[in-house]
Amino acid sequence: MDSYDAPLGDMRFLLHDLGLLHSVNTLPGFAEASPELVDAVLDEAARLAAGRLAPLNLAADRAGGARMENGTVRTADGFAEAYGAFVAGGWNAVPFAPEHGGQGLPWLVAIALQEMWQSANMSWALCPLLTQGAVELLQAHGSPEQQAAWLPKLVSGEWSGTMNLTEPGAGTDVGALKTRAEKAGDHYLIRGQKIFITYGEHDMAENIVHLVLARTPGAPAGSKGISLFIVPKFLLDDAGNPGARNDLRCVSLEEKLGIHGSPTCVMAYGDGPGAVGYLVGEENRGMEYMFTMMNNARISVGLQGVAIAERACQQARAHARERVQGKPAGGGETIIGHPDVRRMLMTMRALTEATRAVTYDLAAMLDISRRHPEAGWRSYGERRVALLTPVVKGRCTDVGVEVASLGIQVHGGMGFIEETGAAQHYRDARIAPIYEGTNGVQAIDLVGRKLLRDRGAAALEYVEEVHALINGMNPREEADIAAIRRHLAPAVDALDNATNWILDAGEAHMIDALAGATHYQRLFGIVAGGAMLARAAVAAMDMKAAGNGDAARLEAKIVTARFYAEQILPQAPGLATTIATGGHSTMALPADLL
């Protein structure tokens, strides 16, 4: 199945009815992002996603995707043409500053568009994802001259961007990298090898701007001695256009479990005189700068989990409505009448809607952190973005894998057969918990940096907001709202208790705190999803009572939130117990007995 329909109803509910768009289009510079304009943008994006990107997805996967031909990487059939339409439509420029050719719309809107691209064709959409991260980095850390030279074409998408961190001996431990950079006049000469470079070489853009981490002579050991360089595929001529080929090449393409349409490259720099690179900022601050791009990418990768979950949901639902098998206890002729199939479909729906809501809320906070005229609100937004970025990256990508797996289960034996396309979603989703920092690394970041560093201030601030949400639901008499509140309250209490346990354990038994980090990340994500769906249920109930909106869609929101509360939120207290008790047994066995 290669069809895809953007979930515009759910997107608009979050943007308009839940008030996320209003929270950002009142910020300085965003006045033009009116509901009417945003709806028109969403409609056009949905047409591009469904009409140009989705039809290429399954074919690229089956054909094996990108290929090497005499040292040149050719992308899957139709990818380059679709990318040309994407650039011509101005889609890459949506969230960026007008002074560099951007459209100046909120990141909240850009995130909704990114979801469509990733759902329609994740392999293809990795290219603009990384380019947007490169733009973010150069906007923050590039010199005025570098911004003038590189940003306009990166913002438009005419040139694409990459991040070059990983090496054969330096994965998560980036500080172990061996790529070297030696100063040569106004530039540096780069020599070394990088692996796992997404869209490191391709035929979709006229130039590729690599952002490469390397070590200069005499630099300190570890991550403190890493510098960042702009290393283009083609050097620029005097007019600022691509000129001579730089000393870099794609050595080979990785054979992968999924995302076959995306060329994942082994890159060699400096086979000859050395690849020309331009220092970004100061020497030895490369990791600091690269985190700007990595944090942008982590939110987008979290969104990939949402996007693949949505695609798997659509396919599983369509199959369940058509597949005749057995006599459903719930009535009807097809398997959608079987209670267990209905359980799977509702789980897929609830997890997808919850993670979408958390991610969009994070995008709104990103806009607030950058644009709000009051320093206190900007600081609040910064705290929330820092806290929720590892939660979104970890929880959403785990959900993408879980929902894609459930999608295969709904299909039964046919889900295990490549012909249906259900397996592709699982294979594509499986990379997301790994790249841009594995989910375990994100969990350690959440506990070690975001929780212990500020003694839980940001996390407990979030907990108090959820308590306030629950208290605001208290006077309501609707049975559905009461049920949601009844399950959300112990869930957030579990998060509160787990947070305080880790704060205490982090002082005396750090290894126990870290052993529970992934459980804590999952717990936080489950509660965050429940809180957002509770907000959605209250808004839907009020709209329904006032006679506003589509009554059936609003009822679906309420039922989905209640299902999540009754079926997903009860996991929270158990996770809190695991966090507080599992550290000893996790580390008890010696390595040779594992």
Model confidence over 394-412: pLDDT tens digits?
Answer: 999 999 999 999 999 999 9
Residue position matching structure tokens 């961007």: 161
Report, at the CATH architecture level, how domain 160-283 is classified: Beta Barrel (2.40)
Q: Is the pLDDT of residue 100 over 90?
A: yes
Q: Which of 69, 436, 461, 465 does the annotation list as catalytic?
A: 436
Q: pLDDT tier at 295 (50, 70, 90 boundaries)? A: confident
SS3 423: helix
Whether 44 is a known active-site residue: answer: no
**Amino acid, res. 92:** N
Q: Is the pLDDT of residue 2 over 80?
A: no
Cα angle for residues 326, 328, 333 (degrees, 5° grid): 80
d(Cα 338, Cα 346) in Å, to the nearest integer?
12
CB 214 within 8 A of CB 226: yes
Of the chain, the percentage scoring pLDDT greater than 90 comes to 91
pLDDT digits (tens, 9 = 90+) for 146-195: 999 999 999 999 999 999 999 998 888 888 999 999 999 999 999 999 99
**What phi and psi, each to the nearest 5 degrees, are found at residue 189?**
-110, 125
d(Cα 178, Cα 342) in Å, to the nearest integer?
53
d(Cα 590, Cα 594) in Å, to the nearest integer?
7
CA atoms within 13 A on the CB side of 543: 22
Average confidence (pLDDT) over 543-560 = 96
Beta bridge partners of 229: 212, 279
Q: Is 241 left (phi over 0), alpha (psi -120 to 50) or beta?
A: beta
**Amino acid, res. 197:** I
| Beta pairing class for 67-69 and 72-74 | antiparallel
Among 157-171, 270-284, 373-387, 577-591, the minimum mean pLDDT is found in 577-591
d(Cα 127, Cα 197) in Å, to the nearest integer?
11
Among 161-165, 264-268, 288-292, the minimum mean pLDDT is found in 288-292
What is the per-residue pLDDT for 1? Answer: 61
d(Cα 154, Cα 513) in Å, to the nearest integer?
42
CB 97 within 8 A of CB 136: no
pLDDT digits (tens, 9 = 90+) for 201-252: 999 999 999 999 999 999 999 999 999 999 999 999 999 999 999 999 999 9
User: 372-383 burial, b if ≥16 CB within 10 A, otherwise e?
Assistant: beeeeeeebbbb
Report CA 199 to chain centroid distance, whole Å.
17
d(Cα 238, Cα 187) in Å, to the nearest integer?
16
Helix (H) or strand (E) holding 563: helix 551-567
CA atoms within 13 A on the CB side of 158: 10
Q: Is 202 left (phi over 0), alpha (psi -120 to 50) or beta?
A: beta
Domain spans, the chain? 8-12+21-156, 160-283, 439-585
d(Cα 210, Cα 229) in Å, to the nearest integer?
8
pLDDT digits (tens, 9 = 90+) for 505-528: 887 888 999 999 999 999 999 999
Token pair for 485: 């509140």
170: DSSP letter: B
Give me the chain's average pLDDT, please. Answer: 96
pLDDT digits (tens, 9 = 90+) for 340-367: 999 999 999 999 999 999 999 999 999 9
CA-based nearest residue to 212, from 256, 272, 165, 145? 165
Q: Is the pLDDT of residue 582 over 80?
A: no
215: DSSP letter: B
SS (H, E, C) 3-68: CCCCCHHHHHHHHHHCCHHHHHHCCCCCCCCCHHHHHHHHHHHHHHHHHHHHHHHHHHHHHCCCEE
The neighbour count for residue 27, using CB atoms within 10 Å, is: 18
What is the per-residue pLDDT for 583? Answer: 80
Query: Which is higher by pLDDT, 540 or 506?
Result: 540
* CATH code, residues 8-12+21-156: 1.10.540.10
d(Cα 513, Cα 518) in Å, to the nearest integer?
10
Residue 130 CB partners (closer than 8 Å, separation 6+): 160, 161, 162, 163, 198, 199, 297
Q: Radius of gyration of the chain from Cα atoms?
A: 24
Longest dimension (CA), the chain: 77
CB 425 within 8 A of CB 307: no
CA-based nearest residue to 136, from 168, 108, 100? 100
CA-based nearest residue to 564, from 512, 488, 502? 488
Q: Is the pLDDT of residue 291 over 90?
A: no
